[in-house]
A and B are shown apart, each in its own frame.
Chain A
Amino acid sequence: MKKIHIFGIVVIAIAISLIVSTLGNTSSYVNFQRAKEVAEAGNNKEMHVVGQLKKNASGEVVGIKVNPDKVSFSFIMVDNDGEEQKVYYNEPMPTDFYRTEQVVVIGGFKGETFLANKILMKCPSKYQETTV
């Protein structure tokens, strides 16, 4: 076997292991129930959950609690299956949080609370104006 062949095999092996380990490191989009199951199974892998803020009958956002030192807050989020869940975030509340149409929280369950490490928001007309 020529050296170049051994080299080729090594490179392919590295490439395959890169793919495999990437798949092992990916997160997934799940609902709260699934995220809870994962956490209860002792896996602290981070999950993406997509949903909306809880609103009352007149459309106002409810359930946001800002810590008095303003450096953390919690809110109630409803996932796409309609399940409500308290989410805690260790960062200040984003200014336009009340107006967000959709939230993606990335994190996992700690006991009964979902601890978000990152929040992605989709605000109305964030990218494109649609009215004059």
Chain B
Amino acid sequence: MEETLHTGIGAVGHLSVIIAFVTALLSTFSYYKATVGSSLEKKNEWLTNARVFFYTHIVSVMTIVVALFSIIYNHYFEYHYAYSHSSRNLPTHYMISCFWEGQEGSFILWLFWNAWLGLALIFTNKKWEAPVMTVFGAVQAFIASMILGVMIFDLKIGSSPFILLRDAMVAPIFETDPNFVPEDGTGLNPLLQNIWMVIHPPTLFLGYAAGLIPFAYCIAGLWQNKFKEWIRPALPWMIFATAILGLGIIMGAYWAYETLNFGGYWNWDPVENAVYIPWLIMVGAIHTMIVFKKSETALKTSIILVLSSFILILYSTFLTRSGVLGNASVHSFTDLGLSGQLLLYMMFFVIVSVALCIVKWKKIPTSDYEVSNYSREFWIFIGVTTLSLMSFQVLIPTSIPVWNAFLGFFGIESNLAAPADQIGFYTKYQLWFSIAVAILSGTGQFFYWKKMTKDQLVKDLAIPIVISLLISAIIIVSTVMNNMSYILLVTASVYSIVSNSKVLFSILKNSSIKLSGGSISHIGIAMMLIGILFSSGYSEVISLNNTGMLIFDDAPDDTMNKENVLLWINKPRKMGEYTLRYRGTFAEIEGAPGYVLKSDLDLTDDPFKVIAKKDIKFNKKTYFKKGDTLRTHPENTYYQVEYEGEDGEQFKLYPRAQINPSMGLLASPDIKTYATKDIYTHVSSVTDPNQEKEWSDEKEIESKIKDRFFLNDFVTVFDEMERLQFVDGVPLSQEDVAVKAKLRIFDNDRVYRAEPIFIIKDRQIGKVPAYIDDLGVRITLNKINPESGIMTFGLKTTMKDYIVMKAMSKPLINVLWIGTLVLMLGFIIAMYRRFQEYNKLEKS
């Protein structure tokens, strides 16, 4: 029998995984030998070996990537990974998302970044190569083991992305035809079909991968008794890792804001927390490392923070991938049976770190110098402590499921659940920490750049304090702010912006822009705090349903606001200062800039293809002609909502929904952006197009040409009758008759046309009804009386089209997005400076 399956590519992939795993182990061992070797000659021999192994490792990792991508790209649905993550109609850029949608693919992504970062280290830092790469190799071996997919006796090690569908699934079809290949895959989760989802996971994983570098330097430093020397090469990488991870977090937040319908960018979901916790510690580590470079203090703190940041990265991986969060999070991965392996991975590095610290602790130099209240060390130290406590506060509740699982392991049943109102709960604490962060980051900069005395401090701070109090007073009064913690946060953030700007100006005047990274980042953080405060603290549901009508007589709480409004098609409805009109369902068409009304399109057997019923125009330009076949994305439906403000301002929003057979209604918002606020709109409920319609009994209506009558509630004009030569393209014979009635139906300000057909062919009567889906009417032409000229129409009705939507206003959200850009700029400048500094030192 001819082999029809593309098993070759999977075999190559699987083999590469094994090679990657083995070469990672071998390079770890060789680098270890090169570190501890007795003679220089021996060391060099081992170093050469180690490099060869690591280069082979890189090649095999790249082969894994190419193999998995070609499986997805070529639609080899005989592979479980391609089948369950991709489909034929997916555009190429979303195939990239498929690549890491699954657990296995995301491990490969991590492997990929680590491999290249390892290569960068080999080429940039020969002095530290051997011990640092020992750590790298070990990490790579652990990650590669996650995708090994081999069974040793009954122990499953790793989950391979290269297994065939027939081996992954038990289905009767494989018994009759073992070579069965499904026609199409199940596709990519529609929520992930978003450009931010293409670039956000690789960014996060690059951040994770880069977080390994400072850790590896720290371990190497402790191991080699170079307790101080590791800081200098590790610092620029720490800034790099923090910047990239931070960027990834913000991209994720932006994706959530744009695509998910919870109305925000941060939900304190355990998976989101899992990246925030290590990030705060990494920010803290940057600060203590800089302090150490300036004044030789805070070395032990730096070591602890750098080690814990990587361990927290591992812990968050464990949280999101072990399945332990299964009931607590909406987007953690499902359990692949890897939790034991992940735990082993994490525990290995915890034990290595703790053991090294214990053994070497006494030898780590400390400075005896008592930190004064007016020293930068003191202030930075307090700042770092605040960051650590901030991280700790998120860590504890996020770990509740782990705690339950842990107790369950000992037979104790624990039924603790995360706080019910996550956002309220975390905000309560993080708000106060943020106030502290803003004050400290505003003040710390003054200490950082000068030797400070009490008098000097008063002199330096007086002007910024006065200015920021003034600005905050204006903001507080003009926004009628009356919440004490909000007032403090605004004041503290404004103070941070003002004082850091003062420092920034003096840096730009007196020295080089290269030194401005710190103050620019701090300004960015303070802007983000202001943006977060206003956009969430003053986020307002504007679609409030305040009728106060008691609908259910046994409703427990009739005073509660309902936060959605029902819009019937075309029927205007007041919502605050706006009048809303829902205008029907729209589809997106490839090659046209806007959305097209679905009723202007005819469906075909292929859901991805539709036929235009009339010319498709945007801004007076015709994109497609009537009768053209167009490509569409059938899973997306856009609901046009016209907004009309009291001042006459008009705009249209197109909130999207996907009616997914397995996931229900997935709604994505559409956002109207103003300089000072966003109007955020999403649908909460729609008429389900897949549901069978319930039609009323037929009602007969008699009418003459040019008459007006009521169809349901709609005024209808019977314009004319037209004799047809063809019906459905079939010519009619001499004895056959076919006529079409032309009706115009008025709904508010919209006119619909209905053309029911009446046929007598071969002495048989046929009726082709006209449907108007928007209005939920079905009209047939039942009888024609040629003598009296009276026609009888049959009318059946069902529910009119409607949507239930929710709208929110998000003030000053742009300040948050601009703040993140400013923060990133600060990071880039700081990173550039530290890399340059290190390079100079290497050359000298």
Mark A residues whose CB is within 8 Å of B.
2-4, 7, 11, 14-15, 18-19, 22, 25-30, 46-48, 65, 67-72, 74, 86, 88, 90-97, 99, 104, 106-107, 110-113, 115, 117-118, 123-132
A3 touches which of B371, B425, B552, B555 (Cβ 8 Å): B371
B420:A27 contact, CB within 8 angstroms: yes
Task: Tell me if B389 and A26 are in contact (CB < 8 A).
Answer: no
Q: Which of B370, B397, B557 contacts A2 (CB 8 A)?
A: B370
Q: Are B418 and A96 interface neighbours, CB within 8 A? A: no
CB of B663 within 8 A of CB of A128, answer: no
B151 at the interface (CB under 8 A from A): no
- Please judge, given known A-B contacts A18-B429, A69-B566, A72-B562, whether A125 and B418 are in contact too, CB under 8 Å: no
Among residues of B, the one whose C-beta sits closest to the C-beta of A14 is B389
Q: Are A15 and B557 in contact (CB under 8 A)?
A: no
B186 touches A (CB below 8 Å): yes
Minimal Cβ-Cβ distance residue in B for A110: B556
CA distance A46 to B327 in the complex (A): 17
B396 touches A129 (CB 8 A): no
Say yes or no: A70-B566 contact (C-beta < 8 A), given A22-B396, A26-B416: yes
Contact A30 B415 (CB under 8 A): yes
Check A113 against B665 for contact (C-beta < 8 Å). Answer: no
In the complex the two chains form, is A26's CB within 8 Å of B552's CB? no
Bound together, the chains give a CA A15 to CA B396 distance in angstroms of 10
Q: Is the CB of A48 within 8 A of B417?
A: yes
Q: What are the residues of chain B within 8 A of A95 when measuring CB–CB?
A: 659, 664-665, 685-686, 688
Choose from B186, B370, B419, B665 the contact partner of A129 (Cβ within 8 Å).
B186
Taking a contact as CB atoms under 8 Å apart, the answer to whether A96 and B416 are in contact is no
Query: How far, in whole Å, are A125 and B182 apart by their CA atoms in the complex?
Result: 18
Is there a chain A Cβ closer than 8 Å to B84's Cβ?
A: yes
Given contacts A106-B420, A110-B556, contact A92 B564 (CB under 8 A): yes
Q: Is the CB of B552 within 8 A of A90?
A: no
| Residue of A3, A27, A99 touching B664 (CB-CB under 8 A) | A99
- Min CB gap A61→B, angstroms: 14
Q: Is B256 at the interface (CB under 8 A from chain A)?
A: no
Instruction: Fill in one digit per residue for B532-558: 1 if any A CB lies within 8 Å of its CB, else 0.
Output: 000000000000010000011011110
B736 an interface residue at 8 Å Cβ cutoff? no
Q: How far is it, in angstroms, between the C-alpha of A124 and the C-alpha of B165 when the chains are bound?
A: 20
Q: Are A25 and B419 in contact (CB under 8 A)?
A: yes
- The residues in B between 180 and 225 inclusive whose CB is less than 8 angstroms from any CB of A are 180, 182, 186
Bound-state Cα–Cα, A22 to B804, Å: 37
Q: Are A132 and B566 in touch, CB under 8 angstroms?
A: no
Alpha-carbon separation in the docked complex, A106 to B422 (Å) = 12
- In-complex Cβ contact of A26 among B419, B545, B555, B566 (8 A): B419
Known: A14-B389, A92-B684, A96-B665. A71 touches B419 (CB 8 A): no
Please report which residues of chain B, range 379-405, place their CB below 8 angstroms from some CB of chain A when the two chains form the complex. 385, 389, 392-393, 396-397, 400
Min C-beta distance of B386 to chain A, whole Å: 10
Q: Does B841 contact A (CB under 8 A)?
A: no
Q: A71 contacts B84, CB within 8 Å?
A: no
Q: Is B1 an interface residue (CB 8 A)?
A: no
Closest chain-A Cβ to B103's Cβ sits at a distance in Å of: 11
A97 CA / B551 CA spacing, docked (Å): 21
CB neighbours (8 Å) of B180 from chain A are 132
B154-175 with Cβ < 8 A to chain A = 165, 169, 171, 173
Partner of A110, one of B557, B563, B804: B557
29 contacts between A and B (CB under 8 A): A2-B370, A11-B385, A18-B392, A25-B397, A25-B425, A26-B400, A26-B416, A26-B418, A26-B419, A27-B416, A28-B416, A70-B566, A70-B804, A71-B545, A72-B552, A72-B555, A72-B562, A91-B563, A92-B685, A94-B685, A95-B664, A95-B686, A97-B664, A110-B557, A113-B554, A113-B555, A123-B663, A127-B334, A132-B180
Cα(A39)–Cα(B822), bound, Å: 48
Residues in B whose Cβ lies below 8 Å from that of A29: 415, 417
Min distance, Cβ B554 to any Cβ of chain A, angstroms:
6
Complex CA distance for A68 and B545, rounded to whole angstroms: 13
Docked pose: A4 CA to B385 CA in angstroms: 12
Please list the residues of chain B having a beta carbon within 8 angstroms of any beta carbon in chain A. 84, 165, 169, 171, 173, 180, 182, 186, 327, 334, 370-371, 385, 389, 392-393, 396-397, 400, 415-421, 425, 429, 545, 551-552, 554-557, 560, 562-566, 659, 662-665, 684-686, 688, 802, 804
Shortest beta-carbon distance from A84 to chain B in Å: 15
Apart from the given pairs A15-B392, A67-B551, A71-B804, 18 other A-B contacts in the complex at a CB distance below 8 Å: A3-B370, A3-B371, A18-B389, A25-B419, A27-B419, A29-B417, A30-B415, A46-B420, A71-B563, A72-B562, A90-B562, A94-B685, A112-B554, A115-B557, A123-B662, A129-B84, A131-B169, A131-B171
A88 pairs with B555, CB closer than 8 A: yes
Closest to B84 in A: A129
CB of B385 within 8 A of CB of A68, answer no
Q: Tell me which residues across on chain B come within 8 A of A113, comparing CB atoms.
A: 554-556
Pairwise interchain contact B663-A132, C-beta atoms closer than 8 A = no
Given that A18-B392, A96-B663, A129-B186 are known contacts, is A28 also in contact with B555, CB under 8 Å in the complex?
Answer: no
How far is B560's CA from A110's CA once the two chains are assembled, in angstroms? 12
The answer on a CB contact under 8 Å between B804 and A92 is yes
For A21, the closest partner residue in chain B by CB is B429
Q: Which residues of A contact B393 (CB under 8 A)?
A: 18, 22
Nearest chain A CB to B163's CB is how many angstroms away? Answer: 14
Q: Do residues B662 and A126 form an inter-chain contact, with CB atoms below 8 A?
A: yes
**With A14-B389, A15-B392, A72-B551 known to touch, is A22 a contact of B663 (CB < 8 Å)?**
no
From the candidates A88, A91, A115, A125, name the one contacting B684 in the complex (CB within 8 A). A91
Residues of A within 8 A of B565 (CB): 71
A77 to chain B, nearest CB (A): 14
Q: Hey, which chain A residues are within 8 Å of B688, CB to CB? A: 95
- Chain B, Cβ-Cβ closest to A96: B664
| Contact of B556 (CB < 8 Å), options: A15, A19, A111, A131 | A111
Give every chain A residue within 8 A of B802 (Cβ-Cβ): 70
Q: How far is the CA of A55 from the CA of B98 in the complex (A)?
A: 37
Alpha-carbon distance between A37 and B664 when the two chains are bound, in angstroms: 35
Q: Are A130 and B169 in contact (CB under 8 A)?
A: yes
Closest B residue to A45 using CB positions: B420
How distant is the Cα of A126 from the Cα of B662 in the complex, in angstroms?
6
Name the residue among A69, A111, A130 with the largest chain B CB count within 10 angstroms.
Answer: A69
Name the B residues within 8 Å of A128 (CB-CB). Answer: 84, 334
Cβ of B551: which chain A residues have Cβ within 8 Å of it? 67-69, 72
Contact of A132 with B420 in the complex, beta carbons under 8 Å: no
Interchain nearest-CB distance for A16 vs B (Å): 11
CA distance A26 to B420 in the complex (A): 7
B694 CB to closest chain A CB (Å) equals 14
Chain A residues, CB < 8 A from B371: 3-4
Question: Distance (Å) between the CB of B171 and the closest chain A CB?
Answer: 5
Q: Which of A27, A71, A115, A123 contacts B564 (CB 8 A)?
A: A71
A132–B564 touching, CB < 8 Å: no
CA distance A38 to B617 in the complex (A): 62
Closest chain-B Cβ to A21's Cβ sits at a distance in Å of 8
Residue of A nearest to B85 (CB): A129
B134 to A: closest C-beta gap in Å? 34
Contacts of A132 in B (CB 8 A): 165, 169, 171, 173, 180, 182
- Complex: A117 Cα to B421 Cα, angstroms: 9
Q: Within 8 Å CB of A88, what residues of B?
A: 552, 555-556
Q: Does B421 lie within 8 Å of A46, measured CB to CB?
A: yes
